[in-house]
Structure 1
């Protein structure tokens, strides 16, 4: 676990690395010790030590993050930041936006950890930099790159409970002229019955992921590069019965499944001018997401395609230096254009599905970053969005950081506004029991936070405590009409409040024993005062790590407690009008790794050690105790 500026756990003889860059914290990277917004950086080592196979399960360990999955692996997986909706979280993979254009959110169900090198989480309104879909924050993910000259790579294999196995391979090459990386992973599991029906059929998942990245140094001033990512998966699901007589009957065992093909790509060029005082970058990216679904009888009931095309320019100028890399004060100008489409490929519910729906938007952005040399640092940004379907909108944000003269205490604070355009699904519908609303207005947010970061034990420990307060207006929700059986999205009048406290701490107790803590208290309510669902009031994680005397074997113990989680009551007595509180639960995971040689690592673990029975969503069963064993060889 990493706090705001922590890159890796420190030993008793080390101090914390305060040189960590928050790459996605601005239009240009920001030193973490100078960054005013609340952020977390997870390194490759920390991701591997977690023992998790899906990025969503790594994110559960972080403050301000709530994750919900519809049953087993491959089921729709939503990530919420600071009590906001999942489509308020902007997700980038190698700089490419990956949210589905139709629903405005990224389904984390297919994102494996196999080739992930770094995860950054920026919490709070980020629309002043990233536009719509960033009210709650940003999650930026970077895949692995070569770290040494020549050809390198890795081969890995893992087996586990529920008929689970994974194979992965990566090949990387680095020279003085550039880098190239390719990876492939296949993960398959028989799963378990997510309906919880005695004797029910297991719901499995097949995931095939391919990733290609590269860059080429054309000259000292010009670099070109790009990325290409493809995920092909098939996930079994079970039917959901809206208006079931009891909670036990909400999810029924059947032959439903989802097939998804996601392809993302980009090309870019970076050009330094004026001897490095001006840095320019042009990006072109795309996303193509195809989805097919089958109902309980096995007959196809959905087939649709969503696309995104995006172009952007960014120019950064050094204000007080001959080079952007050495400047304490920079100014960045950016321009962006985006085009979204969505259509059904078959008319399952009516001819309207076959109409291609489109949306076009563009934006201008300016950002200032300044370091004043006395411990005080400042970041500010303004963005104006031009929308073809909605009114144009201007958002702004400011962040400040101050390190006290003792160099052990840092105060950070930020304020920002945000905007979230209605999704294409909310605007146009597309489904028989869901009617679009073309009169929807964009959601708007205003939020601030303040935190104190304190080193202790001579630099072997670090704790960060942050308080945040957000207000959301025009929140979109769905209203069910029992007479027609149709739900319609509407803007709620009034303000939705989200406030809470985020705590993270890491301490190297000895040179072999380290402790991590993450805690979130969240109070998220609708305008009428009712609780927001699927975002727990309390989440706490205790992590213990121990490196044995051989310096090759490490044990990790995680204990996570969740309480105060609610879901919508979809039984006949409520029909979605009320909520139900889910049971509190505590999960224990145990993991270990052993380096047989410098290039061969064995890993093993037990998830849900106590075989806890719990729910993340009402009606969906969750996985019991599982074990896994893996081996990875690098070359």
Structure 2
């Protein structure tokens, strides 16, 4: 779809309680220091920020990582749900599970967010160049990284807002089988099985998962709709890493998704209404990569081949539609690290990369057909330098050669300074970005939308400054960031086509994060984001809530921490959305704020068996994430985990 200048009220005391919960816990930190040897892993390594593994203490960009163990404790079943608890991220789902799900970073459009799964770019050329998170199960996810701010210097188009990097688990140790089965509200059932193993010369994992639900009405039941819309998802993935020698590694990864989703219709002047619509979809994401390490690991050469395919066939009451998007990618990257101890005790990493990508979109329906392709080749250069293990500076430059638009040059500068004695890190970054018009925006492929081949790329520049602070010998970690971003030539819907909006769209705000080890086994995570976004006409950007906050409390207890309880609270502030009248002219409406409370618990019966359960939307909050689209009420689930 073209980009458009596209609930019952939540209790304000609930948000106040969220803040007070974290504050009230601070006095207990002194006793926690004595009670638990726990220390936050503050010197973790991230990959997305600089294309190479980099300690977080040396990263000048704003990046947040969530580990797979946390997803298990929260019993997260969709990756999009954990993103709701990360600073700077807003999620909108058009209905229940399985429906179109958009993710925005720092107020940017959803197709200005690049998504990587195991190193594979999965943005769909046939879906306005964005990634629909509706069908991404949190299956064997080991880590989710969110890199915020313009990242086109490293990743090219689609990365104006930032990058979401999802990494699945690798096999290790003796052959292990894991099995999960669960069921619950709305006729929901889920099963998952995996086998994994690994040693010094190889590792592999293969996993399959099935999910089905009778669901609720996509069109809001509160507005008089009652027909349930079901959803089915079958996902399989496999990952193999071979190390025939100390200097070479071959990696293969593939993911296949087959889904079926019931749907409802949309009418101008009414909104979403019950209808008999069905979408059958298939996704394949694959990558092969070889890594050669020379000079005792100081000089790496990485060669990669990637391929993605998205198919969607939608049948309405009158007309079938078919869409296929494909991406073919070839890339090469080399990293060379060296030291200059005589020159301020410095270490260096130089990176050069070539990335060639071919994106194509095909559409067929009763009214028209469409088949378009666009090629882009990017050249990336980057240098990182660290002085005396305290000051880290990074500069990145990219040149994109595009077969439709003028060549584009983007850059990024970051800096981080660590005060090792106080556990303080100051950081700052500045970057530029570009987002090419999508094939749909350029050429259109439906009877009610005409493309605009005269569209120009969107251009962005953004900066941020922040501080990361460790307290109480690693028992607490605080992060605070101010960001400012400007986007020119923003593409927006206008009647039955799209145009570049003259002028500059402005987005700024504050991101706060807090992690605490309150007591032995008790951990708290809190996040808050304030976003102010308006287009060049001064109108507030839609589906960007000004205020988002979350609190997660996780308690592991009992012998060998056999039992666990998790409490999650999510606050989503009021936001603007669009309503289309009977002539499909847009009007701005406001969606009320809401608070969701989720509770999960588990108990390990033996070393091989665990039972668990959770309640989502504990207080049965009524709300809408997209105007006239329904959301689930209170729901309960229970299941069993087995490991052999």
TM-score band w.r.t. shorter chain:
over 0.9
Q: Secondary structure at the match of 1:474?
A: strand
Query: Does residue 571 in structure 1 map to residue 585 in structure 2?
Result: no
CA contact (8 A) 2:581 2:587 kept: no
1:564 and 1:365, CA in 2 relative to 1: closer, same or farther beyond 3 A?
same
Normalised by the size of structure 2, how large is the TM-score?
Answer: 0.91
Kindly indicate whether the alpha-carbon contact (under 8 Å) linking 2:38 and 2:517 is maintained by their aligned counterparts in 1. Answer: no
Q: Does 1:34 align with 2:43?
A: no
Whether the 8 Å contact between 1:568 and 1:576 is mirrored in structure 2 is no
Partner of 1:359: 374
Structure 1 residue corresponding to 2:175, chosen from 145, 151, 158:
151
Q: CA deviation at 1:199?
A: 6.4
Pick closer, same or farther for the CA change 1:327–1:343 going to 2, 3 Å.
farther
1:235 aligned to 2:284? no
Return the TM-score normalized by structure 1. 0.93
* CA deviation vs aligned residue, 1:399-418 (integer Å, no higher than 9, x gap): 11111242321111111000
Give the CA deviation at 1:547: 2.6
Q: SS of the counterpart of 1:458?
A: helix
Matching residue within 422, 447, 455 for 2:462: 447
Correspondences of 1:360-509 after superposition (within 5 Å): 360-480=375-495, 487-509=496-518
Alignment of 1:68-217 (within 5 A): 68-102=92-126, 103-148=128-173, 150-197=174-221, 198=224, 200-217=226-243
1:272 aligns with 2:293: yes
Superposition deviation, residue 595 in structure 1: 1.6
Sort the Cα spacing of 1:64 and 1:576 in 2 relative to 1 into closer, same or farther, 3 A.
farther
Equivalence for 1:4: none
Between stretches 419-428 and 172-181, larger displacement belongs to 172-181
Q: Does 1:553 align with 2:563?
A: yes
SS in 2 for 1:437: coil
- How many Å apart are 1:31 and its aligned residue? 0.6
Superposed CA deviations along residues 336-358 of structure 1, whole A, max 9, x for unmatched, are: 111111112x34222xx1x4201
- Deviation per residue, 1:295-353 (Å, 9 max, x gap): 1x2x552112111100000011123289xxx9931101111111111112x34222xx1
- Cα distance change of structure 1 residues 114 and 529 upon mapping to structure 2, 3 Å threshold: same
Contact 2:38 2:520 in 1 (8 A): no
The alpha carbon displacement at 1:218 in A equals: 2.2
> Would you identify which runs of 4 or more consecutive aligned residues in structure 1 move more than 6 Å?
none
Deviation, 1:528, is 0.5
User: Matches of 1:275 and 1:34 in 2, distance apart?
Assistant: 22
The answer for the alignment partner of 1:50 in structure 2 is 74
Q: Say yes or no: does 1:609 pair with 2:618.
A: yes
Task: For residue 274 of structure 1, report the CA deviation from its aligned partner.
Answer: 3.5
Equivalents in 1 of 2:434, 2:581: separation in Å?
A: 33
Asked if 1 retains the 8 angstrom alpha-carbon contact of 2:225 and 2:273, the reply is: no
Quote the residue 1:317 is aligned against. 336
Cα distance between partner residues in 1 of 2:340 and 2:72? 39
> Which 10-residue stretch deviates more, 577-586 or 467-476?
577-586
1:562 to 2:562 alignment: no
- Aligned CA distance change for structure 1 residues 513 and 272 (closer, same or farther; 3 Å): closer
Distance in structure 2 (CA, Å) of the matches to 1:589 and 1:328: 46
What SS is found at the alignment partner of 1:92? strand
The 3-state SS of whatever aligns with 2:230 is strand
Q: Conserved in 2, the CA contact under 8 Å of 1:364 and 1:383? A: yes
Q: Report if aligned partners of 1:362, 1:387 keep a CA contact under 8 Å in 2.
A: yes
Secondary structure at the counterpart of residue 129 of structure 1: helix
Alpha-carbon shift at residue 12 of structure 1 (Å): 3.5
Cα deviation code 1:15-57 (max 9, x no counterpart): 2223311111112111111110000111111111122210001
2:245 partner SS: coil
597, 605, 615: which one aligns with 2:606: 597
CA distance in 2, matches of 1:407, 1:376: 15
Following TM superposition, by how much is the alpha carbon of 1:381 offset from its aligned partner in structure 2, in angstroms? 0.6
CA separation of 1:206 and 1:417: change in aligned 2, threshold 3 A = same
Q: 2:322 pairs with 303, 324, 342, which one?
A: 303
- Which whole-Å deviations, capped at 9, do the CAs of 1:73-113 have from their partners, x for residues lacking one? 11000100000011011001100011101211110000001
In the comparison of the two structures, how many residue pairs are matched?
A: 605
CA contact (8 A) 2:483 2:509 kept: yes
How large is the RMSD of aligned CA atoms in angstroms?
A: 1.8
Secondary structure of 2:153's counterpart equals: helix
User: Any conservation in 2 of the 1:12–1:509 contact (CA below 8 Å)?
Assistant: no
Instruction: Give the C-alpha shift of residue 221 in structure 1.
Output: 1.3
More deviation in 409-418 or 398-407? 398-407
Deviation per residue, 1:156-187 (Å, 9 max, x gap): 01101000000111011213321111100000
Partner of 2:41: 17
Distance 1:274 1:39 in 2: 31
Unmatched 5+ residue regions in structure 1? 1-8, 481-486
Which residue in 1 is equivalent to 2:284? 263
- For structure 2, list consecutive stretches of 5 or more residues without a partner in the other structure: 1-31
CA drift of 1:569 comes to: 2.0
Aligned to 2:347: 328
**Counterpart of 1:484?**
none
Measure the CA separation in 1 of the matches of 2:338 and 2:471: 36
Distance 2:355 2:225 in 1: 53
1:511 counterpart = 2:535: no
Q: Which moved more, 1:85-94 or 1:591-600?
A: 591-600
String of CA shifts for 1:341-386, please: whole Å, max 9, x gaps. Answer: 1112x34222xx1x42010110110111222125111122100000
Please, which of 79, 83, 88 is the counterpart of residue 59 of structure 1?
Answer: 83
Relative to 1, partners in 2 of residues 1:347 and 1:374: Cα closer, same or farther, differing over 3 Å?
Answer: closer
Contact 1:27 1:129 survives alignment (8 Å): yes
Within 1, Cα distance between the matches of 2:367 and 2:535? 32
Q: 2: CA distance between counterparts of 1:118 and 1:374?
A: 26
- The reply on whether 1:294 has 2:315 as its aligned counterpart is yes
Distance in structure 2 (CA, Å) of the matches to 1:541 and 1:363: 38
Comparing 127-136 and 326-335, the one that deviates more: 326-335
Whether the 8 Å contact between 2:434 and 2:459 is mirrored in structure 1 is yes
Point out which structure has higher relative CO (alpha carbons under 8 A, 6+ apart).
Answer: 2
